[in-house]
Structure 1
Amino acid sequence: MIVTAVPPGAALRSGDGELHSIAWSDAPAYTSEPELVPPTGPLCVVHRDEHCVVVEKPAYLPTENTERIKDSVRARVEALLGADADVRIPHRLDWETSGLLVLALGSEAMRSLSMQFASRTVRKSYVADVVGAPPARLGTVRLPLSSDPDRRPRQRVDFGASGKPAVTEWAVERSTPHASRLVLRPETGRRHQLRMHCLALGCPIAGDGLYS
């Protein structure tokens, strides 16, 4: 883990082409079953053109349908745009997470957006309420991660051959000795990366029953 201290009040600089999402922090405990019901009704559309739609995804609504769940962001956008709409998913948010989600319209838009996410032209920003206070005002966590086969769906820090590089920039937005709000900017997209890296800082995400 690399932590670089900076003067109080410093913040990560923002730029064009960013997505700002809210990391989930209000679930009472982790569950693999979708027991918490998402809000009903149409999604809030933030942007729409001939290439893409940007919507506000509520917590507990999956990005796509599953075998058991037939309500999702994709299903609601398809209902909004009509049966002929070619809605595609270039990136995802966990079902517990709320935030902005971009959906591509057609194969060309899907190809372009997928390349932008893969090349990190689009940077994602998350805001997370965590327990405790980190050791500095700003820093970077570099800890490789892999799936924990004995405790699925948990991930683990893995410096061996199975570990995949995972890097997260973080900055304190506000803090008390007991709780803090962090801005998180993942440079990689590993499963549970932000949850694991916050835990490595000694500040698990509030309400995370899986890692806290």
Structure 2
Amino acid sequence: MNAKTTTSDKVPQPGSGTQVRWIEVSADDAGQRLDNFLMRCYRKVPKTLIYRVIRKGEVRVDKGRVKPHRKLQAGEVVRVPPIRQPDSPEAAVIAQAQLDRIERSIVYEDADLLVLNKPSGVAVHGGSGLSWGVVEVLRRLRPYAKRMELAHRLDRDTSGCLLVAKKASVLKALHAQIREDQLLKQYWALVAPHWPKSVSRVDLPLLKNTLQSGERLVKVSAEGKPSVSDFRCLETFEDADLVEVTLRTGRTHQIRVHAQASGAPVVGDEKYGDQAVNQRFRKQGMKRLALHARRLGFTHPVTGQWCELEAPLHDDFSALLVRMRGEH
């Protein structure tokens, strides 16, 4: 069931951005915060504008003023003032080759969700100069799934398991599991020079800073949020190790910063890594971040069953390991 929209008889019809909208809350949206509800309805409108119209009392729920964190109930009507939206990301031109590439990358799908083996170099969503990302491609591929949303994110250069919900109720349930750290998230990373044998758990708080350019930079700091990663060496090579990392918390750039702080940064990491090491591995064919979301586990929000899915390494990563082993 989708939210119903009506408009005043005195104003233009929806789409022009110059009319008041009355949006009826559907059963799927029940329990969702007002701010999150509006951000979904107005995907391309800046968050600052959404919060501004709420704060000024221009957004009403059943004719009453409300706070951003107010949870909505099915059947309530949200009044939204005129908000002009930029062009929708669905209008972006997406090459058929990219549509096919993402289609081939789906490792699991049912009526409620899907898991994608995201290629490295592909952003999870459009914005910041990008006309499209994974979620825009999936919405194009699955037009019937009106509520397609990312359950979590991966850095643009990180490959591997990406969980996407098709329904608002499924997204809400998955977010609850993420908040409680109930998802299994395991990564494979190539680190250099070698992972310290005495270190199996890195427990270092991380502080995120956003530079004026919009770039995110994370550092170890006592003022940061608790961050825990478990590392296990899978394979040792002459000048690098392949490690498995199990996240106990989910902070921005957590694996990359924890690896750097342990003296063995991830190969190909242009932000936290060793540039000489990166250059050496580029010559061997690894021209990107050697970090792959290998395994993802979660409780299916509809069936209640535990699901555990694996994403195979992409060709560049697997080919590098073959060469490092001296195989042919």
For Structure 1 versus Structure 2, the TM-score category normalised by the shorter chain is 0.7 to 0.9
2:98 partner letter: T
Mark the CA change 1:198 to 1:84 in structure 2 (over 3 Å): closer, same or farther.
closer
What is the rounded CA distance, in whole Å, between the counterparts of 1:82 and 1:148 in structure 2?
37
Task: State the partner residue of 2:232.
Answer: 171
Task: State the partner residue of 1:130.
Answer: 191
Task: State the partner residue of 1:30.
Answer: none
What is the rounded CA distance, in whole Å, between the counterparts of 2:183 and 2:271 in structure 1?
29
1:191 paired to 2:252: yes
Question: SS in structure 2 opposite 1:128?
Answer: strand
Task: State the partner residue of 2:267.
Answer: 206
Which structure 1 segments of 5+ residues have no match? 1-38
Question: CA offset at residue 148 of structure 1?
Answer: 4.7
Task: State the partner residue of 2:116.
Answer: 55
Task: State the partner residue of 2:159.
Answer: 98
Task: State the partner residue of 2:178.
Answer: 117
CA root-mean-square deviation: 2.0
Write out per-residue CA displacement over residues 5-53 of structure 1, whole angstroms, 9 at most, x where no aligned residue.
xxxxxxxxxxxxxxxxxxxxxxxxxxxxxxxxxx723212211111101
What is the rounded CA distance, in whole Å, between the counterparts of 1:77 and 1:71 in structure 2?
10
Question: CA offset at residue 180 of structure 1?
Answer: 0.6
What is the rounded CA distance, in whole Å, between the counterparts of 1:61 and 1:148 in structure 2?
23
Question: SS in structure 2 opposite 1:204?
Answer: coil
- Residue identity (%): 27
Verify the 8 A CA contact 2:145 2:167 in the aligned structure 1. no
Question: CA offset at residue 106 of structure 1?
Answer: 1.3
Question: SS in structure 2 opposite 1:154?
Answer: strand
**Number of aligned positions between the proteins:** 172
Q: Which of 220, 226, 239 is 1:157 aligned to?
A: 220
Larger Rg: 2
What is the rounded CA distance, in whole Å, between the counterparts of 2:122 and 2:181 in structure 1?
25
1:200 partner letter: A
Verify the 8 A CA contact 1:64 1:75 in the aligned structure 2. yes
Which of the pair has the greater relative contact order for Cα pairs under 8 Å at 6+ separation?
A: 1
Runs of 4+ in 1 over 6 A off after TM superposition: none
Question: SS in structure 1 opposite 2:241?
Answer: strand
Verify the 8 A CA contact 1:62 1:73 in the aligned structure 2. yes
Q: Which of 78, 83, 94 is 2:139 aligned to?
A: 78
Mark the CA change 1:166 to 1:47 in structure 2 (over 3 Å): closer, same or farther.
same
What is the rounded CA distance, in whole Å, between the counterparts of 2:110 and 2:190 in structure 1?
33
Task: State the partner residue of 1:29.
Answer: none
Question: CA offset at residue 137 of structure 1?
Answer: 6.8
Mark the CA change 1:186 to 1:170 in structure 2 (over 3 Å): closer, same or farther.
same
1:41 paired to 2:104: no
Mark the CA change 1:148 to 1:112 in structure 2 (over 3 Å): closer, same or farther.
closer
Mark the CA change 1:157 to 1:47 in structure 2 (over 3 Å): closer, same or farther.
same
What is the rounded CA distance, in whole Å, between the counterparts of 1:56 and 1:164 in structure 2?
29
Question: CA offset at residue 188 of structure 1?
Answer: 0.9
Provide TM-score, normalisation by structure 1.
0.75
Task: State the partner residue of 1:35.
Answer: none
Mark the CA change 1:67 to 1:135 in structure 2 (over 3 Å): closer, same or farther.
closer
Mark the CA change 1:148 to 1:51 in structure 2 (over 3 Å): closer, same or farther.
closer
Mark the CA change 1:111 to 1:149 in structure 2 (over 3 Å): closer, same or farther.
closer
